[in-house]
Amino acid sequence: MGQYDETTEHGPGEASTQREWYVIHSYSGYENKVKKNLESRIESMGMSDRIFAVVVPTEEQVELKGGQRKTTERRIFPGYILVEMMLDDDSWFVVRNTPGVTGFVGMGNKPTALSKPEVERILKRMEAEAPTIKVNFREGDSVQITDGPFAGFHGSVDSIDREKGKVRVMVSFFGRETPIELDFLQVERA
């Protein structure tokens, strides 16, 4: 169980000699600060042989603000941080007692390691070449076209293709509903 007094949570129990990814929880908005705190604790407490990586999962996102395309970094899982480590009482103690860490994700007091496919999917999403585009409309919503030859026209969203970053808008044109395919950034909610 570890050398903890009864006022703290108990450690993981049996030690793991294999590197695995675990998820820790922190207050939303403090993920980067917790990452920095944990990395300095790993160094100062000589744990780099058991705690290998601390990752805040993020992806690039494009949004339109004031007519300008702006790329921002968005947290994929707000409040969660990935840690690659060999889990034992000492490594658990270092991570768990880092300022801002509220706990490990798992059943009871036993942290649950992520599966390899889960880790690969998260890391692949972080490395995606094309940034995701923030979409603030849904099918059926009224929108205004802000760019291109139909700028100023109003219509309703017929379909959204997130893979291609396209939206099909039904616009009343010469008294008939006409479908127009546009880029996400050419449309905003009316």
pLDDT one-digit tens code per residue, 115-125: 999 999 988 88
What is the set of domains in the chain, with CATH numbers?
20-133 (3.30.70.940), 142-189 (2.30.30.30)
Q: Higher confidence at residue 132 or residue 151?
A: 151
From the list 168, 166, 190, 186, the residue with the least C-alpha distance to 177 is: 168
Residues 6+ positions from 45 with CB-CB distance below 8 Å: 94
State residue 58 phi and psi, 5-degree precision: -135, 160
- 57/18 Cα distance (integer angstroms): 22
Count of Cβ atoms closer than 10 Å to residue 73 Cβ: 11
Minimum mean pLDDT range among 17-26, 124-133, 155-164: 124-133
pTM for this predicted structure: 0.65
pLDDT at 58 over 60: yes
Q: Confidence band (pLDDT; 50, 70, 90) for 15?
A: low
Per-residue pLDDT of 138-151, as tens digits, reads 899 999 988 888 88
Of the CA atoms within 13 Å of residue 145, those in its CB half-sphere come to 23
Residues 6+ positions from 172 with CB-CB distance below 8 Å: 155, 178
Average pLDDT over residues 117-135: 81
- 141/65 Cα distance (integer angstroms): 20
**Residue appearing with tokens 């649950």:** 112
